[in-house]
Amino acid sequence: MQTMFWVNKLGKSLVLFLLGLWVIGPVYANVDTPWVKSKGGQVHLQMADGTVYALTLNADVEGVFYDRDKHPVKGDNYISLFQASPSNRANPTGLCGAGNEIWLYVYQVTGAELVEKTKSLVSSCLHSISMTSQNSGASGQDRDFSSVQWNSRGFSIEWFDHVDAAGRSLKLSNFMVQDGDFVQQDVLIQNNPKN
């Protein structure tokens, strides 16, 4: 009898724990990078500190995922967002017709305005570019932008599949603020490390 009591209690605890993860998990993932659909070529970004910014987008942009936090770097605040547009709008049944092109845009907060400072293509069906976080195999990986990491000097992007101008595979791209602009420094994948 005593053994059955512990088995039943353990089973109930496990079920409650898994239900808790199911309820909490999706909420946490959606808070980090909410989706805002473009309305008339504009979006309104509600930041974690309560400020709201209106932003005009290109006509082909369907909407944005954005980071609700402002990131301080060398005395200025920056925000990042991911603009999504169809890869092949002209031929939706052709190559990459169902795919997306996602650009990371970084804006400097200047009073009530956002000033574009840099942009980088971070996910592309047409160019075979993707970030590590969007290739985890986990459900919702398409909304996982955690490969973009901010630090006190700027931000970095961890790549799953990307090459530089010479065709060499990239592991990481660092974007550091120098004289008010972001300067990109790439880190290559070392295929044959020397011992």
pLDDT in tens, 35-74: 999 999 999 999 999 999 999 998 889 999 999 999 999 9
pLDDT in tens, 23-43: 333 323 334 689 999 999 999
The length of the chain is 195
Judge if 2 and 86 occupy the same domain: no
Task: Give dist(CA 78, CA 116) in Å, integer.
Answer: 10
pLDDT grade, residue 141 (50/70/90)?
A: confident
Helix (H) or strand (E) holding 22, with range, is helix 2-32
Judge if 22 and 38 occupy the same domain: no
Judge if 3 and 78 occupy the same domain: no
pLDDT grade, residue 105 (50/70/90)?
A: very high
Judge if 123 and 45 occupy the same domain: yes
194 inside domain: no
Strand 52-56 and strand 170-178: pairing?
Answer: unpaired
What is the total count of domains within the chain?
Answer: 2
* pLDDT at position 92: 76
* pLDDT at position 21: 33
* Mean pLDDT, rounded, for 121-150: 89
pLDDT > 90 fraction of the chain, expressed in percent and rounded = 59
Q: Which residues are 185's β-sheet partners?
A: 174
134 inside domain: yes
102, 86 contact by CB (below 8 A): no
Judge if 21 and 52 occupy the same domain: no
60, 41 contact by CB (below 8 A): no
Which structural domain, as residue segments, surrounds residue 25? Answer: 1-32
Token representation of residue 183: 């300067």
Judge if 38 and 21 occupy the same domain: no
Q: Which residues are 104's β-sheet partners?
A: 82, 120
* pLDDT at position 169: 94
148 inside domain: yes
Least trusted range by pLDDT, from 102-106, 140-144, 183-187 = 140-144
Residue appearing with tokens 């101008």: 165
Judge if 117 and 52 occupy the same domain: yes
Residues near 84 by Cβ (< 8 Å), separated by ≥ 6?
Answer: 61, 62, 63, 64, 65, 100, 101, 102
Judge if 21 and 64 occupy the same domain: no
Judge if 24 and 49 occupy the same domain: no
Judge if 170 and 78 occupy the same domain: yes
Task: Give dist(CA 40, CA 89) in Å, integer.
Answer: 18
Judge if 119 and 23 occupy the same domain: no
pLDDT grade, residue 98 (50/70/90)?
A: confident
144 inside domain: yes
Instruction: Kindly state the DSSP code that residue 162 receives in the 8-state scheme.
Output: -
Strands (E) located in the chain: 35-37, 42-46, 52-56, 63-66, 71-73, 76-86, 100-110, 113-124, 130-131, 148-151, 154-161, 170-178, 181-188
